[in-house]
Structure 1
Amino acid sequence: MLPARVLAAATSLLVILALSGCSSLWPCTDTTAERGEAGVRVQVVDTDGQRLGVTAQVVDWRLEPHPQVPAEGDRVHFRFRFDGADERSGPVVDACAVDEERMALMCQAIHSSQVLGPGRDLTGDSWLDVEHPEHVAEVLLIPNDQSYAGGATCETDIKDGGGTHPPESPGAGDQL
C-alpha cells in the first residue's frame, strides 16, 4: 500500500495534467461544416448551419477596367449588401465569380465591416481579377460565415481547440 503523501501527490499531478491539457484523455475533436448553397442572395449561417439573421446579396456586377490600373483590362466589379448585420455580428462570406456551369473562376472574402459604420448604406463594392473575365456569368456568395475560419484546432491547441470550423473557402475550379 502506498503512503498517503504519495497518493496525494499523484492525485495532484493528475489534476494538474488534466487541467493543463497535457492529458491524453482530453476530448478534442475537429469537424468541418458543409459548404452551403451559393447564390446571389444568401442567408448567412454559422458553423452549425444556424441562420445569423443576416442576408448577404450581390446587388450588381459588371466587367470594366479598374480605375487604378486601366491598362490591365477588364476586371469583375461587383457591389454587395449586408442586411441585418451590425458591428458586433461582423460576418465574412466568400464572393466568387463563376462561369455558366457555376465553376469558380476567382473567389475572395468580403466583410460586413466593409459596409458598416456611420453614414453608410450597407452597400459596398469590390473587384475580382479573373484571368478570363469574358467567361464570367455571375457573381455568387457562399452563405457560410468565415469570421471564425482561423480558430484553434485540436492539432494546434488540444485544450482550447476543436469544434466545428467553417468550410474551406472555394478556389478556382470548385463547383458551386
Structure 2
Amino acid sequence: MTPARLLAVAPLVLALLAVSGCSSTWGCSDTTAKRGKAAVRVRVEDIYGQHLGASAEIVDWRLEPHPQRPSDGDQVHFHFRFYDADEFNGPALDVCAVDKKRVALLCETVYSAEAFGPNGDPTGDSWLAVEHPAQVAGVLFIPNDQHYQTRTCAQDGKDGGGPHPPEPATLGDQL
C-alpha cells in the first residue's frame, strides 16, 4: 500500500474503532479534585473547585453517650447546618472529628438532605464513634462536594473517566 493510500484509509480505520468502542479506553482519563481546606464553616465546592452557592457549618458538638448504645461510652455528637442547599439533590460533605493538630480521628459523609427536618430547618445531627473520644478537639467539614460520583476508567473504561471528588479523608490525614 502506498503512503498516500495509508493516509486516506487511516481516518476510516480510526472512525470504525471509535464506533465499535475499541478505542474508548485509549481516551479514558480520570482526574481527582484537590481537597479543600477543612473548617467549621465552608463554602461547598464542586469538582472543579468552584463555589456551588451553598455552604455548611458545624453548629456545635459535644462528647456524650449515644442514646441507643450508652454502654459504648462517649461519642462525638454534632449538629450541622446547610445554607442555600437543595433539600433533595444538594451536596454531600465529609465531616471529620480531629485532634488538636487537626489530624483526622474519624470521618464520614453527611448529605444536605439529612439536614432538612419536618419543619424545613436545614439543621441536622449525627454521631462519630471515635476510638479515643478524649483526643477530639473539634469537628470540621471538608468543602468538596462528594455527591458527584461518576464511574472511573478502572470501573468502566468505555463510559467512565472524567473529574472526581477528592478521596475521602481517613484516619490520620492532616486537615
What is the TM-score when the length of structure 2 is the normalising length?
0.87
Partner of 1:173: 172
Q: CA deviation at 1:152?
A: 1.1
- Secondary structure, counterpart of 2:71 in structure 1: helix
Give the structure 2 partner of residue 17 of structure 1: 17
Q: Structure 1's 163 and 25: CA in aligned 2 closer, same or farther, altered over 3 A?
A: closer
Task: Determine the C-alpha separation between the residues in 1 that align with 2:90 and 2:116.
Answer: 9
User: Against the structure 1 CA distance between its residues 47 and 20, is the aligned structure 2 distance closer, same or farther, given a 3 Å change threshold?
Assistant: farther
- For residues 50-84 of structure 1, what are the alpha-carbon distances to aligned partners after superposition, in whole Å with 9 as ceiling and x for unaligned? 10001010000000000001111100000000001
8 A Cα contact 2:95 2:142, kept in partner: yes
Measure, in 2, the Cα distance between the counterparts of 1:168 and 1:40: 20
CA offsets 1:138-171 (integer angstroms, 9 cap, x no match): 000000000123x111222233211111111011
What is residue 98 of structure 1 aligned with on the other side? 98
SS of corresponding position for 2:134: helix
Contact in 1 for aligned 2:81/2:123 (Cα 8 Å): yes
Show the counterpart of 2:126. 126
Instruction: Provide the identity percentage.
Output: 60
Within-5 A mapping of 1:36-47: 36-47=36-47
Question: Which residue is equivalent to 1:154?
Answer: 153
Q: Which runs of 4+ in 1 moved over 4 A?
A: none
State the match for 1:109 in structure 2.
109
The structural deviation recorded for 1:87 is: 3.2
Q: Classify the secondary structure of the residue corresponding to 1:19.
A: helix
CA RMSD of aligned residues (A): 2.2
TM-score (normalizing by structure 1):
0.87
The alpha carbon displacement at 1:34 in A equals 0.6
The answer to whether the Cα contact below 8 Å between 1:26 and 1:159 also exists between their aligned partners in 2 is: no
- Aligned residue in 2 for 1:69: 69
Moved more, 61-70 or 25-34: 25-34
**Structure 1 residues without counterparts, runs of 5 or longer:** 2-6
Q: 1:16, CA displacement in angstroms? A: 4.6
Structure 2 counterpart of 1:4: none
Contiguous gaps of at least 5 residues in structure 2: 2-7
- What number of residue pairs does the alignment pair up? 168
